[in-house]
Amino acid sequence: MIGSDYTLDLSNVYYSGQVEPGSCLQRIIGNIKTGIILKDVSMTVHSGEVLAVLGSKGSGKKALLDVISRRVQGPVRGHILLNNQPMTVCLFQQRCAYVTHKCDLIRGLSVEETLFYTPTRLTGYLKKSKVKQVMADLALTQVSNRSVENLTKSEYRRLTIGIQLIKDPVILLLDEPTWDLDPLNTYLVVSILSNAAKKYGSAVILTMEKPRSDVFPFLDRVLYLCLGDTVYAGGTRQMLEYFDAIEFPCPQLENPLMYYLCLSTVDRRSRERFLESNHQIAELVEKFKIEGGIYRKGNTLGPSHPPEYKIPLLLGKISSCSVAWTIYTRLLAATFSFKKTGFKQLFLRLLLVPIFFFILWIFYNNTELYQHTFVSRNGWILNCLAGMYFLGVLNAVLIYPNYRTRYFQESQEGLYGGTIFLFTYNIVSIPFSFVSCLAAGAIIYPIIGTFENPLEYLYFSLVLWACYMFAEQQTMATLMIIKDHLLAAIFNIYIVCICLTLSSGILRSIKGLQDWLFNLTYATQARYASAFLVRQIFLSGDLTKPLSFDEKHNCTNMNLIETSLLNGIPNPYCR
């Protein structure tokens, strides 16, 4: 059982993984260059402390956080213990939190809504109180009603931290929380993290590439990495003592954090500097292995430093029903938000399809009952089908990616899986699309029939809805594989065009297809939707009776012998 005072211990951790980006083919066949990223890394951090992992680009800072959070794919050796218990994926997901460098929040939600709709065990009044407390701790109270897309970089970064703090984590990992922030906001973020660590009793581990001198007082511990090796790990105040002892004192008026970071960085400006700095870093690594054990284990908070607020340990995962309800209400809140993003979603979900069919109605409204309008009616069917398919693709591409990206990020935290995500998204999306297709059907249906038989109108609207749903679900499935929404749209539109061309029987007869293509059309939805609309339009009502070619050429009084081509062509307008 994990106690109330927490200690995270890393002992002799090695990690091998991908050292350079590979092509798609290399990833498929598994031929990606790998190497040792972390080499014999050891460190200790206690509850209430802030540990900064410092190093240049490629030193292994992010890899270390991924190893602690158990998100890496490669082999890991060594021990990662939380109060002498092995850190497993389940343990990290239940007790710890990870603020990644890139975090995409759901647009349309306010700061307060984003925090409130984060799945946690708290509900009702307790959750609202916790949200207000976290906003106050992160200096977000003044912007609580502001939409996330209108936040500054600092406010956005603090909000992503708040999403994890609201879960009361024992260990909080942060990847470059001060990246691209000005000095004032860098100071603000680090000071907030230090206060949160002391207040909630959490151990905070953050990575930094360019530490400033004004954040030095807020850092209890520091870990210097260079190409995966440990140059120093221990208290920030003991750091000066250690480097003095090994004859690398920090000059006066220098920022010690930055000075020793430069000392731990390979100088690539020339071959001589590269060899010299590489040799010096190797010496520092060896010296710390010999003399640094006492500095790594030391408690920087002193013998008695209890946190102001003890974190209640939570056992087990949050129930699936509770998570599903939270995700569902979050989707509704984002859709019905009185902000630009909310209005955009409502327009796309409710009004786009009826507007398209209203435009279609303008062009086809004056279609008369003549023979020459058979081609126009055929084109009308094609436009109805193509419009529903293309609008389904368009809506999925414009609305779905934001929720998909957030799902992928939250699924890494173990909050919920794909089943809950797709179920809740469709529960929100399906009623909108059904109402939208009913409205579209009511606009366009009078061209081919009347509402005296409401069942026929309902069948017509359901066929349109089926086409829309098919295209939307197909695009959603594609977006789960293809990251770029433009590529996904092009791919799905290409598939739709092929299906309409070969399977609908409108642009060319399916009877003229080769046998293998003809058999493939049975597996396409467009064949059945087109067949139903053709039957509903051409095999019912006045179109089954003899019709004039146009208002000048009347064929209704001619018999079959007169219209037969066997007797010549007495009247070329009548067939």
Determine the average pLDDT of the residues in 377-397.
92
- Residue 34 within any structural domain of the chain: no
- Report the C-alpha gap between 111 and 148 in whole angstroms: 6
Domain boundary at 240, 275, 297, which? Answer: 297
Identify the burial level of 514 via C-beta atoms within 10 angstroms of its C-beta, where 0-12 means exposed, 13-18 middle and 19 or more buried.
exposed
Q: What angle do CA 457, 458, 462 make, to 5 degrees?
A: 120
331-340: average pLDDT: 92
pLDDT at res. 356? 95
The residue range of the domain holding 536 is 340-543
Q: Is the pLDDT of residue 307 over 60?
A: no
Q: What is the pLDDT of residues 154-207, one digit of tens each?
A: 999 999 999 999 998 999 999 999 998 999 999 999 999 999 999 988 999 999
What percentage of the chain reaches a pLDDT higher than 70?
86
Does residue 9 fall inside a structural domain? Answer: no
Q: What is the pLDDT of residues 206-217, one digit of tens each?
A: 999 889 889 999
Q: How far apart are CA 288 and CA 344, in angstroms?
A: 58
Quote the pTM value: 0.85
Please check whether residues 567 and 518 belong to one and the same domain: no
Which residue is associated with the tokens 């989707």? 331
Angstrom distance (rounded) from CA 24 to CA 22: 7
8 A C-beta contact, residue 172 and residue 97: yes
Beta bridge partners of 45: 8
Q: Which residues 6+ apart lie within 8 Å of 523 measured at CB? A: none
Residue partners of 45: CB distance under 8 A and separation at least 6: 7, 8, 51, 171, 203, 205, 221
Looking at residue 453, its pLDDT comes to 84
- Are 539 and 555 contained in the same domain? no
Average pLDDT along the chain: 86
Q: What is the pLDDT at residue 555? A: 60
Q: Are residues 469 and 499 in the same domain?
A: yes
In this structure, the answer to whether residues 190 and 49 fall within a common structural domain is yes
* Distance separating alpha carbons of residues 122 and 134, to the nearest angstrom: 14
How many other β-carbons are positioned within 10 Å of the β-carbon of residue 364? 17
* Cβ atoms of 246 and 232 closer than 8 Å: no
Same domain membership, residue 271 and residue 412: no
CA distance to 135, 189, 216, per residue, from 139 (Å): 6, 10, 21
Q: Does the residue 490 lie in any domain?
A: yes
Lowest mean pLDDT across 225-229, 232-236, 363-367, 394-398: 363-367
Please count the CA atoms within 13 angstroms of the CA of 387 that sit on its side-chain side.
23
Q: Are residues 202 and 276 in the same domain?
A: yes
Query: 141 and 127 in one domain?
Result: yes
Same domain, 168 and 286: yes
Asked whether residue 114 is assigned to any structural domain, the reply reads yes
Any domain includes 17:
no
**433 and 552 within one domain:** no
**Alpha-carbon distances of 188 from 137, 138, 193, 198, 211, rounded to whole Å:** 11, 9, 9, 16, 13
550 and 562 belong to one structural domain: yes
Note the residue count of the chain: 575
Domain tally, the chain: 3
